[in-house]
Amino acid sequence: MNGIVYAGVALLLFGAEVLYLRLATHYHIVDTPNHRSSHTQLTVRGGGIIFWLAAFLAFVVTDFASPVFFVGLTLVALVSFLDDISSISTRIRLLIQLISLGLLLQQTGLWSELSWWMVPGLILACGVLNAYNFMDGINGITVFYSAITIATLLIINQFYIPFTGSLLLVFSLIGLVIFAFFNARRQALCFAGDVGSVSMAFIVIFLLVSLMRESGQLTYALLLTVYGIDSVMTILYRLWRGENIFQPHKLHLFQLLVHQLQWPHLRVAGLYALTQAFINGYVIWLTRRDAQMQFWGGFSLLMGLTLAYIVIKNRLNRLVATRHKPGQGRETSQVFRRLS
């Protein structure tokens, strides 16, 4: 019976995505390439709306379980979709995000437990939400990374700690597979848009908070290590340079790999997802150990990856600087080819 339900959901989501592509093309909901873009042609924006639809189907099939969470998801998806169509004030978006995340924490039961810690908790969750959105800059990265994250959470839910109903996990994974057909290609047919990346981030945050509350282990936050390091280190770098961190840029490591080394989008997206997959296996192993081992194991992981990030980023920056020096273009070009 489940197989029939899953197949029906897949067909429905596929049909919904095709319909959205037609409507978005008709109403010109598209990304126009500019100097900050990673694409070169008009591409439909907001195709990730099917992530919200997948959650809605799970909400209906489970007899409207977790209604407060779904209201929050709908609010944040709506404001993100409106921002995809026509830019909305950052203040309004942040306000709706904070309200939505407050509903999320209320659904998980943390609102009453954390009391005054809710303020920094909301700020942290809002940071994760927007970092997830900022990382959606090349074809395939959101879908590959999110698929690894959701699949890992599904494995944990099925074999280690049952922390939620499985349908939200399975339907979200189906939505990601469907979206991959349209996005994970050399020339994407559509982008997730803010509605897609923010909706998926909201779902992931809800699942992670539920898991950490049920298990009592903060170690599971490491399931977002790769995104976390790239986001935090890039923000710190931009603050050091005195830049507005809310303005678009091309300073994430994945952007440098694409724009400077000319690596294909899907290679970089796959590298990020594969790295996180190995980390996830380590995290599952680590959570079977005592608290002290978890602390030092997690600390070592973060320090090691941060150091690797700094070394790689500095090397790329030096190569970029050398590339623009007169008379050294050919030599640097050869170095870039060797690296790629």
Question: Rounded to an integer, what distance in angstroms lies between the CA atom of residue 17 and that of residue 92?
Answer: 28
Q: How far is CA 137 from CA 38, 248, 249, 252, 257, in A?
A: 7, 10, 10, 9, 12
Of residues 51, 131, 59, 67, the one with CA closest to residue 103 = 67
Of residues 135, 110, 127, 137, the one with CA closest to residue 37 = 137
- Tell me how far the alpha carbon of residue 35 is from its chain's centroid: 23
Question: Rounded to an integer, what distance in angstroms lies between the CA atom of residue 52 and that of residue 78?
Answer: 10
Q: How far is CA 230 from CA 273, 290, 308, in A?
A: 13, 28, 11
Host H or E run for residue 311: helix 291-323
Residue 139, annotated as binding a ligand? no
SS3 at position 254: helix
Is 160 within 8 Å of 210 (Cβ atoms)? no
Residue 65 φ then ψ, to 5° = -75, 150
Residue 31, annotated as binding a ligand? no
Binding annotation: 133, 194
* Binding annotation for Mg(2+): 133, 194
